Amino acid sequence: MAKYCGNCGAQMPDDALVCGVCGTPFDMGPAPSTAHPGQGGGPVGGGPGGGGHAMGRVGLDGRGAGMGNGMGPGVGAGFRPAAQRKLPVLWIAIGGGVLALILIIVAAVLIIPNFTGYRALLRRTMTSFADYDIDNMMDDCSEIYYEYASEDSAEMYFSSVVGSVLDDLEDGAGHNYKFSYKVNEYYEMSNRQLDRMLNALAFFSDRADILSDYADEIVAADVTVTGKKNSRETSEDVLVVMTKEADGWKLLAIQRDY
């Protein structure tokens, strides 16, 4: 059986007592090994990362670089530097931030307008409409009424219009119906439409020019209100007119059969 030097691993004759390469006495060195270099236990590939059948390259410090089944800290073939591992995480974070920004912008465009300006006023008006809460409507009433009419006349006007619409919904759908509404469109009223609307209101007759003193902008909302109970359903169209005045958007009129 061939002999190997326990110090340098050189092969020696069977009867040699001293290594002919490094001079180590054979009977004083470590027990000879038959392990193939790279299988652990020897000086090549047999460092702390060996311990098994290493299949990778041999590190500079003698640690097995491959797929050994030992328990040492050898560096496996699948090792990636920390910078490479962090790069995908960075891109994922950037993508998530961009998506969140897009969602915020969409929300701002679609949702926020419904809670500001004349859209917010219309929401409050239709809530009061469904509950027949004329007092809340009067809180949003245009200052024009207080200048050219009176609070009582304005309250009577809104009570009459809203009450008649609700009566028709109840007649068509029955008691305890479910109220809903849909905005068909918003638009700015022409001078002809304004004149016609104001002349239809007795306390504004022949005073169509008064709006220029109070309103910076006038918007009308074409709204369909619906009452539904079980299979019974009925709808009415109303026009809600709103003016932009010094202290915000105000309710000017609610018309039906326009």
Q: Read off the pTM.
A: 0.56
Q: Pick the last residue of a domain from 92, 110, 128.
A: 110
Q: Give the least confident one: 50-64, 163-177, 229-243.
A: 50-64
Residue 125 shares a structural domain with residue 251:
yes
pLDDT at 59: 43
Per-residue pLDDT reduced to its tens digit, 212-246? 666 778 899 999 999 999 999 999 999 999 989 88
Please give the tally of structural domains in the chain.
2
Per-residue pLDDT reduced to its tens digit, 122-144? 999 999 999 999 999 999 998 88
Residue 126 shares a structural domain with residue 245:
yes
Q: How far apart are CA 140 and CA 249, in angstroms?
A: 8
- What is the average per-residue pLDDT within 74-98? 64
Residue 187 shares a structural domain with residue 208:
yes
The region, left, alpha or beta by phi > 0 then psi within -120 to 50, assigned to residue 204 is alpha
pLDDT band with cut points at 50, 70 and 90 for residue 146: confident
Q: Pick the last residue of a domain from 73, 93, 110.
A: 110
70 Cβ contact list (under 8 Å, min separation 6): 40, 49, 50, 51, 52, 64
Residue 155 shares a structural domain with residue 97:
no
Residue 180 shares a structural domain with residue 101:
no
Residue 170 shares a structural domain with residue 102:
no
Highest mean pLDDT among 53-67, 97-111, 140-154, 173-187: 173-187
Query: Residue 133 falls within a domain, yes or no?
Result: yes
Residue 125 shares a structural domain with residue 87:
no
Residue 94 shares a structural domain with residue 218:
no
The residue ranking higher by pLDDT, 65 or 24, is 24
Residue 156 shares a structural domain with residue 241:
yes
Domain that holds residue 190: 113-256
Residue 247 shares a structural domain with residue 119:
yes
pLDDT at 118: 93
For residue 82, the surrounding DSSP H or E stretch is helix 82-110
